[in-house]
């Protein structure tokens, strides 16, 4: 392409939530900003995660210079292993972000060890024709940055995810001065987070949750169990500080909660006094009034730590009559049913449950509301504006918020969707040609399980390994199993060869049912996942094959 043209290429995250990834190209040089994933919707059965299709970058591999990360949330770093499996790129990010990336890379065991370059706010790096300055912003996790990318045509500001928190818990203020300085000198293009564009006013400070937690801990006479995103180190720090104040010991429960807090503590981002921590296996032996548990699973994932606790199937923790459970996280759209099922289970245990909207809140967003988005626009005063991170309605709403800048130098605002490009040259900005984009559906989260089309994946899956249908009849009210499970298979084993295998598979399903509580058996979503997991493990061990397993639970 022409050497004096700047191209903005959204690879994911525009017109959809998650999979945030965007490329900037000037001449023959490309830098990639973020590589995120999203969780599948209901119409993608058998898919574990969804990542952007990086075909454009692979086709132009000789021009791709680096991957730059704004922060460590999964919708911004979740696809990094899959991109690095295709392209050996240097990766730039803050220390906490790179520590989370390293943990993901260890799970995938790439052939070549990628170059990870830690940066801090205020650092400047040069990548080909791009000079990148990292600017500190406040968000719902630590070590988040916006990017000021100086190109031969002008400065591009990419905000990453942000809110403008005037009283952050770590006292690291949002660097408004650097953004304002760029605004005074002139900004060619602003790419700004649109997640909360529908919310009027300002997003509350992270400190706003403290009064509610003080109230909860004042009231609670027994254990307090709090579930939040494991990456919410600011919130975890507040809870640790309150535990000291209320003379409770703290236990971290759940794999992600343990891993992320270990990383944050090792980097000096989480302060934990000596003697405060309680081992998970010691929770039930400690006096209930002296325990605060921080646990993963706020989104109701069927096999998460909190869900296991909710159905009384966790090896270290049981919720008992009079315990307090707090869901300190927003309900991600699509997770409502699973979360409310989990809350119902906790209520059956006799827990006092706090969740949802209340004042003071148990959760505040990490994204800026309308007034903060306007402030960003007013500080930067760009020549061109493209909203990012959101569905189409939110991108369009964000463009309308910028209308007041028409008299202050804003020439045009563009609503782009994933795959639509913006071209900027000496003549101005305009939409360019589309690039190939799409979704890659990944089964079991391993690099050799990547599939580009879920329909093709299912057809190949069925043609090669067939399918297995365990059919179980459960009384919805009592949770009791009626009769014995039936196993139906097609394209897996011949009837005369597989009768013994299917009989053993039936026993596996029976063991799963028998080892589950009546309450678990009444939760169809949980039981399907447990049966699928146990049966998949058994069949893989016995046959080294992976048929499509679709448990069917009949209500009787």
CATH number of the CATH domain containing 301: 3.40.50.10710
Last residue of a domain, one of 409, 442, 475: 442
Strand runs (DSSP E) across 414-523, as ranges?
422-425, 428-431, 439-442, 450-451, 467-474, 486-490
Q: Are residues 148 and 269 in the same domain?
A: no
**Do the domain assignments include residue 281?**
yes
Q: Are residues 371 and 488 in the same domain?
A: no
**Do the domain assignments include residue 218?**
yes
**Do the domain assignments include residue 475?**
yes
Residue 371: its H or E element: helix 370-380
Last residue of a domain, one of 307, 334, 354: 354
Tell me, yes or no, if 265 is annotated catalytic: no
pLDDT in tens, the chain (556 residues): 567 899 999 999 998 888 999 999 999 999 999 999 987 766 565 567 889 999 999 999 999 999 999 999 999 999 999 999 999 999 999 999 999 999 999 888 787 889 999 999 999 999 999 999 999 999 999 999 999 999 999 999 999 999 999 999 999 999 999 999 999 999 999 999 999 999 999 999 999 999 999 999 999 999 999 999 999 999 999 999 999 999 999 999 999 999 999 999 999 999 999 999 999 999 999 999 999 999 999 999 888 999 999 999 999 999 999 999 999 998 877 788 889 999 999 999 999 999 988 989 999 999 999 999 999 999 999 999 999 999 999 999 999 999 989 888 899 999 999 999 999 999 999 999 999 898 887 765 444 555 545 555 666 667 677 888 899 887 766 667 777 888 888 887 765 555 688 888 889 998 998 888 888 877 878 888 899 999 989 988 888 888 888 888 887 6
Residue tagged active-site, from 73, 136, 367, 389: 367
**Do the domain assignments include residue 448?**
no
Give the domain extent around 51.
6-201+365-442
Tell me, yes or no, if 193 is annotated catalytic: yes
Question: How many Å apart are CA 506 and CA 219, to the nearest integer?
Answer: 49
Residue tagged active-site, from 53, 75, 161, 193: 193
**Do the domain assignments include residue 447?**
no
Q: Are residues 377 and 302 in the same domain?
A: no
How many domains is the chain partitioned into structurally?
3
HSE value, Cβ hemisphere, 13 Å, CA-based, for 262: 9
**pTM of the predicted model as reported, rounded to 2 decimal places:** 0.84
Cβ partners under 8 Å of residue 24, min gap 6 = 6, 7, 8, 9, 30, 31, 33, 130, 149, 151, 156
Instruction: Name residue 354's beta-bridge partners.
Output: 326
Q: Which residues of 506-525 are buried (b: 16+ CB within 10 A; e: fewer)?
A: bebbeebbeebeebbbbbee
**Do the domain assignments include residue 360?**
no
| Helix runs in 247-335, H state only | 255-266, 305-310
Q: Are residues 321 and 424 in the same domain?
A: no
Q: Are residues 11 and 86 in the same domain?
A: yes
């Amino acid at each position: 392409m022409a050497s004096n043209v700047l191209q903005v290429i959204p690879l994911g995250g525009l017109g959809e939530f998650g999979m945030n990834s965007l490329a900037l190209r000037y001449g023959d040089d490309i830098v990639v900003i973020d590589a995120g994933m999203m969780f599948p919707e209901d119409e993608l059965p058998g898919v574990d995660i969804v990542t952007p299709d990086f075909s454009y970058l692979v086709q132009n591999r000789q021009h791709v210079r680096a991957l730059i990360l704004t922060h460590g949330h999964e919708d911004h770093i979740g696809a990094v292993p899959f991109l690095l499996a295709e392209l050996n790129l240097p990766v730039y990010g803050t220390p906490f972000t790179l520590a989370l990336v390293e943990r993901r890379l260890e799970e995938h065991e790439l052939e070549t060890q990628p170059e990870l370059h830690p940066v801090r706010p205020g650092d400047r790096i040069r990548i080909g024709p791009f000079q990148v300055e990292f600017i500190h912003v406040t968000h719902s996790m630590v070590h988040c940055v916006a990017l000021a990318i100086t190109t031969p045509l002008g400065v591009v500001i990419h905000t990453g995810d942000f809110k403008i928190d005037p009283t952050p818990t770590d006292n690291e203020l949002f660097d408004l001065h650097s953004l304002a300085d760029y605004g005074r000198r002139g900004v060619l293009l602003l790419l700004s987070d649109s997640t909360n564009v529908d919310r009027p006013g300002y997003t509350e400070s992270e400190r706003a949750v403290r009064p509610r937690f003080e109230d909860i801990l004042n009231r609670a006479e027994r254990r307090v169990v709090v579930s939040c995103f494991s990456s919410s180190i600011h919130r975890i720090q507040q809870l640790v500080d309150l535990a000291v104040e209320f003379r409770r010991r703290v236990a971290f429960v759940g794999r992600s909660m343990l891993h992320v807090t270990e990383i944050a503590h090792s980097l000096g981002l989480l302060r934990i006094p000596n003697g405060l921590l309680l081992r998970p296996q010691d929770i039930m032996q400690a006096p209930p009034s002296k325990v605060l548990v921080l646990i993963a699973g706020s989104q109701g994932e069927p096999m998460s730590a909190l869900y296991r606790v909710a159905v009384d199937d966790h090896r270290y923790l049981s919720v008992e009559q009079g315990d307090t459970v707090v869901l300190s996280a927003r309900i991600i759209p699509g997770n409502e049913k699973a979360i409310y099922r989990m809350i119902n289970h906790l209520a059956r245990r006799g827990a006092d449950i706090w969740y949802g909207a209340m004042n003071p809140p148990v959760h505040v967003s990490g994204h800026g509301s309308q007034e903060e988005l306007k402030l960003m626009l007013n500080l930067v005063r760009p020549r061109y504006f493209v909203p990012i991170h959101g569905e189409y309605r939110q991108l369009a709403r964000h463009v309308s918020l910028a209308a007041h800048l028409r008299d202050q130098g804003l020439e045009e605002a563009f609503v782009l969707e994933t795959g639509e490009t913006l071209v900027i040259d000496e003549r101005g900005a305009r939409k360019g040609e589309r690039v190939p984009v799409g979704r890659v559906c990944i089964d079991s989260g391993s690099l050799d399980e990547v599939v580009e089309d879920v329909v093709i994946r299912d057809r190949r899956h069925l043609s090669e390994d067939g399918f297995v249908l365990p059919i179980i009849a459960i009384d919805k009210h009592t949770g009791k199993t009626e009769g014995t499970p039936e196993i139906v298979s097609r394209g897996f084993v011949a009837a005369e060869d597989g009768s013994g295998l299917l009989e053993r598979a039936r026993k596996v399903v029976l063991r799963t049912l028998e080892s589950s509580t009546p309450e678990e058996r009444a939760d169809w979503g949980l039981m399907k996942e447990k049966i699928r997991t146990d049966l998949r493990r058994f069949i893989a061990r016995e046959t080294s094959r992976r048929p499509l397993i679709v448990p069917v639970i009949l209500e009787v």
